Amino acid sequence: MKKKLNKDQFEVPLFEALLSHARRDVVSFHCPGHKNGRSIDKELKNYTGEGIYKFDVTVFNEVDSLHDPVGAIKKAQYLMAQAYGVKRSLFLVNGTSVGNMAMFLAACEPGDSIIVSRNSHKSVMAGIIMSGVWPIWIQPRIDQKLDLVFNTTYDQIKEALDKYPEAKAVFITSPTYNGIVTELSKIVDLCHKKGKVILIDEAHGAHLHFNRQLPESAVEAGADMCVQSTHKILSALSQCSVLHFNSMLIDFNKVKKIVSMLQTTSPNYLMLATIDLARRQVFLQGKKKFDRVIEAAEWGRSYISKNIALMKCFGRQDIQKLGFDLDVTKLTINITKTGLSGYEIENILTRDYNIQLDYADLFNLIAIMGEGSNKTDVEVFVKALEDISKKYHGKQKNWILKIPSLATEMVMKPREVFLSNSTKRVSIKKAVGHIAAQILTPYPPGIPVLIPGERITKEICDYLMDMSKDIRISGQETEMLKTVKIFTN
Ligand SMILES: Cc1ncc(COP(=O)(O)O)c(C=O)c1O
C-alpha cells in the first residue's frame, strides 16, 4: 500500500451511523414512503431481503446531510480525502458525470477558454454547455495497428498552451476507457508552471492510488481536481463517485456550492454508505486485492496471445513504448482477424456463455475488471473466446478505425447554439460550411465529430456519410443518419 497504515481508516462513520439507525427500528415519519421497506414490493423484497431498505432514509442529524455535513458524512469525506492524500473530497450520487460538470463550473467563468481532450465523456459537453466556456479541442491520435484511440499527450497540451496562452484550464481524461494513462505528472507540472488549472476525469482510476503495480493516479500527480467513479472499479454501488479537490488556484467553497447545486436533496444513503465502505476496503485491502486482479488479467492476456490465433491483446510494454502507461486490469481484445465484429462476439458471449462485457465495437472487446473480479472469471471468459474463435468464422472485413481532421473553426460557444431555437435540419451534404447545432459521435472511436458551434467541413460530412453505413452514430435522431442540425442565425 502506498499510504502508511492509518488506524482512522478502519472507521466507516457513515455506514456505522446508518447501521445504528437501522437497528433501532425507528418509527418513520420521514421520507421515503416505503417506511423502512414495509411497502416495498414483495417480489423484490423476497429477492433482496429487507435490511437494505432500512438504510434508505432522509436527512436527519443521526445520518447527517450531504449538502451541509457536520457529522457522519463530514467525517466520511474527511477519511476519503485522507486516504487519497488530497485536501478535500466530496461524495457524489450522480456519478462522475455530475463531477465533470461541477469541475467546469467551478474552474471557469462564462467566456473563459479551456483546453479539452476531444475523447471525453458526454458529461464533459454538458459541463461546457452549462459553464458557457470556449472549448479548445485536442484531437487524440488513432493507432490503426492496435485499432485504438490514444490518450492526449504532454506534447499536445504544451502545443495548445503555447498557441492559446489565454486558456484558463486544461481538462483531460485519464485513464481512457481502454486503461491508457497519459504522462500525468509532466502535464500537471506544465499546467501549474503556467498558472493553469488542471482537471482530470479519472472515472476509471479510483483504484490506481492503492497499488504500486498500477500507473500513477491523478491525485498523486497533483491535479487541481479530479473525479473518480467509485462504482466502476471499486465496490460502491452504481452512481457513486468522488470529487477530489487539491487546488491552490480554485476556491473550495465555490466547488462545494456548485456540487450542492447539481445534486439531489434526497441522496440515497445506502449508496453513500457504500462510498464510505469502498474507501475502507481499498485503503486496507487494495494492494492485496488488486495484486490478484492484476495477476488474473495478465494471465488472461497471455492465454489469449498463446492460444487464440485470431485475437490479440496489447500489454503494458506495447503501450509504454508509445509513451503512455497501461492499467493492466483492463483487457482490450482485438478481434478483427475473426471476421466478426465485437458486437457479434459480445452477443454470442451473452447468449451462449452467460458472460456480459462492458463494451464492444467493430474492432475490440473491452473486459473491465474490478475489485470483485477473480481468476475463475477470467478463465471462463478466455475459454469462451477460444471456443468462439473455433466455432465462428466471419468474412474478413476491411473496416479501418479513422477520424477526419477536427481542427475546425469554433464559431460560437456550444452554450449559445444549444440554447438557441434558430436551428434546422439539412441533409448531410448541404451542411458543409454551416455551424453545427448538435453532437454526433461515432462509436468507434467515440470522439465527437460534430460539436455545437463548430464549422462543419466537407471532410466531416464525407466521413459521417461513410461511417453511418456500418455503425450507429450516437446523437443521430433517426434510424439512418440522413440529416444534421445546423444553426440558422
Ligand atoms: C471516461 C468517463 N468519464 C465519465 C463517465 C461517467 O461516469 P459515471 O457513470 O460515474 O457518471 C464515464 C462513464 O462511463 C467514463 O467512461
In a domain, 260, yes or no: yes
- Domain final residue pick, 216, 248, 282: 282
Nearest-angstrom CA–CA distance, 441 and 432: 17
The residues lining ligand 1, judged by C-beta closer than 6 Å to any ligand atom, are 95-97, 121, 123, 173, 177, 201, 203, 229, 241
Residue 408 within any structural domain of the chain: no
Cβ-Cβ contacts under 8 Å for 348 (sequence gap 6 or more): 388, 392
271 and 377 part of one domain: no
| Ligand 1 centroid, distance to 5 Cα (angstroms) | 30
> What is the whole-number distance in angstroms between the Cα of residue 234 and the centre of ligand 1?
14
Q: Looking at residue 413, what DSSP letter applies? A: -
Residue tagged 452549462 (cell numbers) = 130
Range of the domain at 331: 287-391
The verdict on residue 2 lying in a domain is no
Ligand 1 atom having least distance to the Cα of 231:
10
Atom nearest to 239 CA in ligand 1: 10
Which of 90, 91, 123, 237 for a ligand 1 pocket mutation test, highest count of atoms within 8 Å of Cβ?
123
Ligand 1, atom nearest to 177 Cα: 16
What is the Å distance from ligand 1's center to 121 Cα?
Answer: 6
Record the cell numbers describing residue 25, joined without a space: 427500528
**Residue 357: predicted pLDDT:** 98
- Ligand 1 centroid–CA 229 distance in Å is 7
Question: DSSP letter string over 218-249?
Answer: HHHHT-SEEEEETTTSSSSPTT-EEEEE--SS
Instruction: Evaluate whether residue 399 is within a structural domain.
Output: no
DSSP secondary structure letters along 440-488: BEETTTT--SB-TTBBPPHHHHHHHHHHTTTS-EET--SSS--EEEEE-
Question: What is the 463 CA–ligand 1 centroid distance (Å)?
Answer: 26
Whole-number Å distance between alpha carbons of 275 and 277? 5
Taking a C-beta distance cutoff of 8 angstroms, is the pair 169, 136 a contact? no
Mean pLDDT by 10 residues, the chain (489 residues): 74 98 95 97 97 96 97 98 98 98 98 96 97 96 93 97 98 97 98 98 98 98 98 98 98 98 98 98 97 98 97 97 97 96 97 97 96 98 98 88 90 97 95 96 92 96 89 82 92
pLDDT for 6: 86
**Amino acid 1: pLDDT:** 45
> Does residue 155 sit in the same domain as residue 203?
yes
- In this structure, the answer to whether residues 264 and 295 fall within a common structural domain is no
Going by alpha carbons, the residue nearest to atom 10 of ligand 1 is: 95
In this prediction, residue 481 carries a pLDDT of: 85
Are both 382 and 423 inside the same structural domain? Answer: no
At residue 299, φ and ψ (nearest 5 deg) are -65, -45
Q: Any alpha helices (H) in 331-476, and if so which ranges?
A: 342-353, 375-391, 414-419, 458-467
Per the listing, cell 466531416 goes with: 460
Q: Take atom 9 of ligand 1 and give the residue whose Cα is closest.
A: 95
Cα 359 to Cα 45, 175, 209, 383: the distances in Å are: 31, 16, 25, 19
Same domain assignment for residues 90 and 175: yes
Measure 365 CA to ligand 1 centroid, in angstroms: 18
Q: Are 252 and 274 found together in one domain? A: yes
Query: Is 381 a domain residue?
Result: yes
Cell of residue 368, nine digits? 473491465
State the residue for C-alpha cell 492524500: 85
427 Cα to the center of ligand 1, angstroms: 32
How many angstroms separate the alpha carbon of residue 171 from the centre of ligand 1?
14
Q: Domain for residue 432, yes or no? A: yes
Phi, psi of 405 (to 5 degrees): -70, 130
For the CA of 120, the closest atom of ligand 1 is 1
